[in-house]
A = this chain, B = another copy of it.
Amino acid sequence: MKNKIPVAVIAATGAVGQRFINLLDGHPWFKVVALTGSERREGQKYGESVHWILSDPMPDWAADMQIKPSRPKALDVPLVFSALPRQYATEIEATFARAGVAVCSNAGAYRTDPLVPILVPEINSHQLELIALQRQAKGWDGLIATNSNCTSTGLTISLKILDDAFGVKRVFATSLQAISGAGYPGVASLDMIDNIVPNISGEEEKVQWEPRKMMGMIENGELKLHPLQLSVHTNRVPVSDGHTVCMSIELDNKPKPEDVAHALASYLPPEIARDLPFTPSPVVKVRTEDDRPQPRLDRMTGGGMTTVVGRIRPDPIFDIKMVVLSHNTIRGAAGGSIYNAELFVKTGLVRIQD
């Protein structure tokens, strides 16, 4: 690509905003030309305003940028990545979409909107169809697409592949979630030393619903939720990055564990989502050791975009037990949004403005 597409990161100072900057550094298609932040930071240098929390160093180009307001005119880009908190996202993201900008959002604000896809290109690029419906219904020239909740991501990628192959009916899932999901300062250290916390407020409801939307089909111009049932327990554990989910799965066909492993390991994304810069390679890595996946060892598989599945074995009540690991701030947040944006470029929904 000769001319990179200029993009902005909205709410760039938080944990997910930092990850956007980290992952967009050197991206072959996108060039970050603007960073935004809260009003009190406007005009400050990004490098002096942010409390950087990633182990990868802050790129120099980001350090030197001046923080701008989160308004379309102030940015003048065809595509933005939004790391806005939910309460601001509803209004600001719509403003951008109305102004003709494509918004790839990590916020939860529009995830429940039936016209906004929760896009995970390796498994549900068919939901791109919603964009036309969304534009028509809302009168937008731009668009909004969200990535999924970080805990739903790996879980849904693996379930969708199994659903295609064997039919998924019911799922029990228990998560062991990393602290980076709560931002910074986020979880208090007194809660994470010699301890776990057996709840993440509001998370169970999301993970019981979002996968049904993500796995849904569009019929007669309407997204139908997938009928599978989920029961979810969420826990916070002392891990920096990488959400682990233990699952028991009931399937229509009764595959053997090796069939499940084969279906996951051999899965390829649909043609349209296959060779993009952030396409996970492989989509799913199946590990055969009896103590994997582990967050510290496996979260960076495929640059943090691969879903890692292990311990595939029979379930005494349902059919299959397995453990899924996904990097919560890469595949489950910023990296997922970048992959979505690549899909918009590939399909012509975002174009370089000449």
Contacts and interface: CB of A to CB of B under 8 A. Distances in A.
How often does this chain occur in the complex, in copies?
4
A259 interface: no
A38 interface: no
A231 interface: yes
A199 B231 contact: no
Interface in A210-254: 229-231, 233, 235, 237-240, 244, 246, 248
Per DSSP, chain A at the interface is loop
B233 A323 contact: yes
A187 B179 CA distance: 13
Interface stretch (A3-11, A84-92, A314-322): A314-322
A348 interface: no
Interface string A291-333: 1111111011100000000110001111001010000000000
A311 B198 CA distance: 8
A179 B189 contact: yes
A185 interface: yes
Nearest to A325: B198
Contacts of A194: 193-194, 238-240, 295-296
A244 to B, nearest CB: 6
A29 interface: no
Interface string A184-211: 1111111111111111010000001000
A60 interface: no
30 contacts: A52-B297, A53-B297, A55-B296, A55-B299, A57-B300, A57-B301, A176-B176, A176-B235, A184-B188, A185-B185, A185-B188, A185-B190, A187-B188, A189-B238, A193-B238, A193-B239, A193-B296, A194-B194, A196-B244, A198-B246, A198-B311, A201-B290, A208-B316, A229-B316, A229-B317, A230-B316, A233-B246, A233-B248, A233-B321, A235-B246
